[in-house]
Chains A and B, each alone.
Chain A
Amino acid sequence: MKAGSEPWAVSLGPIIKIKNLQKSFDGIRAIDNLDLEITKNSITAIVGPNGAGKTTLFDVITGFTESDAGEMRINNTIITGRKPEEIVALGLARTFQIPRLFKNLSIRENLLLAYNNSADKLGDDEFEEKAKRVFEMIGVSIDLDKSADDLSYGQRRIVEIARCLMRNVEIILMDEPTAGLFQKARESIKQVIKKLKQAGKTIVIIEHDMEFVADACEHVIVMDEGKSIAKGKPNEVLKQKKVLAAYIGE
């Protein structure tokens, strides 16, 4: 029996594996023959100039946008062509570039909707307990009865992340979680990401702030015009000429 065919060997592979992924919008190649692997229990940054295809990549992985070709796997399960609700049920959560809260609902109701659909949900007391723990971890105290509509932009991002964490997931995709935030809030998001990794999660974040990437992330993937043009450790990759050129030449 070959080692690779043993059941436990599966978990040693990448948690997300993408091969030859293609997606065009009216002839514009948003994702162009992309290969990508995300290591389990790591923090990976996806960087690249505006329009590089980063958000589209998240949308395709989570099933909101259908790919034209290619194959995607999570934990070796093929997710290509599956619906968002089926894909996220495999243990995946995401935030959006523009936070998507339920604005006519309270923060508690926002969190409850995530919690109620979590595989490990329990009763109301456990919900309150979990919500408390999540906000403690983020390092923010917030009145759960506040309407989501009354929150500042920064608070919305925090609550959206908190909502993701109310589901017990293995993989968290964050689309520019620090955009538009002040230094203090960026710092707390950085800490959250590090704590999530300690808790065994896999985190993929789209990020424009290179200092943040160098400080918080173990891997970086540089995208340009839908392709992955470089990957590796942040301090090595971000110095490469082609990476700098992609940013300047946009």
Chain B
Amino acid sequence: MTELTSFIPYLLQVLGTIIIFSLVILGMNLSIGFTGMLTVSHIAFFGIGAYAAAISFKLGLGFIEAIVIGTIVTTIISYILARATVKLKSDYLAVASLTLIFMVQIVAQNWDLAGGVFGIKGINRVKLPGFEISPITNQLAYVALMLFILAIVFFLLKKLVQSKFGLIFKGIRDDETAMQSLGYNTEKFKTISLIISSIVAMLGGVLYAHFITVVVPTLITFNDLLLVLGMLVIGGLGSLEGSIIGTIIFYSLPEALRFVEMPEAIIGLARYLVLSVILLIVLYIRPRGIFGKVDINESGQ
């Protein structure tokens, strides 16, 4: 019984983390896999979402307000990022997106309202009526809410990539020059794609803040870049299903290491080793990723 009561929160923790990562990966895939825009700015927007939720909490605002604020801030910043880089080659966007991650972190560290280096602690779990019996039921209800939000986002993105708009994104990914020769204003569509994908990643951040209840500046670092890119690539560029499966595999397999007895010192190392091995095996068998529709070296020009 005691084992079960500690296992369920653990399982919810894993599931919740997978949901949050999935949103970031879905956003990245819309940019990189569907539109051919090489950017990792989604990590920055994830951070913006987390801070939007944390600061909203501090100011006495709720979950929905946090999403609205996060969306407004994300739209403005991703619009500026797009305008500044769409004209340039893809590599500039990559560099600019790395810089953005850095900038968000610096702002978070130096902004009093954001709690400086200590961040913001004690953020509330979103309470759903009827589930406040115990922390576990409440956590269960929140994870269910997150799953619901993920499902809605997934459904909307699926509609988007199957629509005429989605086809335009894919055309830009495959050959932007050819798209211009057919009369498309590719800068406009790249901007739209970047804004939508950034909002998706931002949502992950809002969910994170209320899930983990602590938001600190070190949240937004390059440390997890490898992890996030691994999730994206393993599931496959240009596949939304792949983004979810890739996230599950890449997050849960190393998680299984927790149940293997090993010295504390090598756990981190073992984790990266497992991740690398998974990545190598999958990409050896399926170079496009599990569900991928696009060759990695082909995306962009």
Contact = CB atoms under 8 A, between A and B. Distances in A.
Nearest to B173: A104
Interface stretch (B24-32, B182-190, B271-279): B182-190
Nearest to A90: B183
B183 A167 contact: yes
Contact of B181 (A88, A104, A109): A88
A10 interface: no
A85 B179 CA distance: 9
Interface in B184-242: 184-186, 238
A94 B183 CA distance: 11
B184 A85 contact: yes
A179 interface: no
A167 B182 CA distance: 8
Contacts, number: 70
A84 B170 contact: no
A142 interface: no
B167 A64 contact: no
A18 interface: no
B238 A116 contact: no
A101 B178 contact: yes
Contacts of B179: 113
Contacts of A100: 175, 177-178, 181
Nearest to A87: B183
B164 A116 contact: yes
Contacts of A181: none
Interface residues of B, number: 23
A144 interface: no
B174 A102 contact: yes
Nearest to B295: A104
Nearest to A147: B293
B3 interface: no
B180 interface: yes
Nearest to B36: A104
Interface in A158-197: 163, 167
A105 interface: yes
Contacts of A96: 177-178, 181
B192 to A, nearest CB: 15
A89 B183 contact: yes
Contact of B182 (A104, A109, A113): A113
A65 to B, nearest CB: 11
B177 A64 contact: yes
25 contacts: A62-B181, A64-B180, A64-B181, A85-B180, A85-B183, A88-B180, A88-B182, A96-B178, A100-B175, A100-B177, A100-B178, A101-B175, A101-B178, A103-B175, A103-B298, A104-B170, A104-B238, A104-B293, A109-B167, A109-B170, A109-B171, A116-B164, A117-B183, A167-B182, A167-B183
Interface of B: 164, 167-168, 170-171, 173-175, 177-186, 238, 293-295, 298
Given A101-B174, A167-B183, 13 more contacts: A64-B181, A84-B181, A85-B180, A85-B185, A96-B181, A100-B178, A103-B298, A104-B170, A113-B168, A113-B171, A113-B179, A113-B182, A113-B184
Counting from the closest, the 5 A-B pairs by CB-CB distance are A102-B174, A100-B178, A84-B180, A88-B183, A117-B183
Interface of A: 62, 64, 83-85, 88-89, 93-94, 96, 100-105, 109, 112-114, 116-117, 163, 167
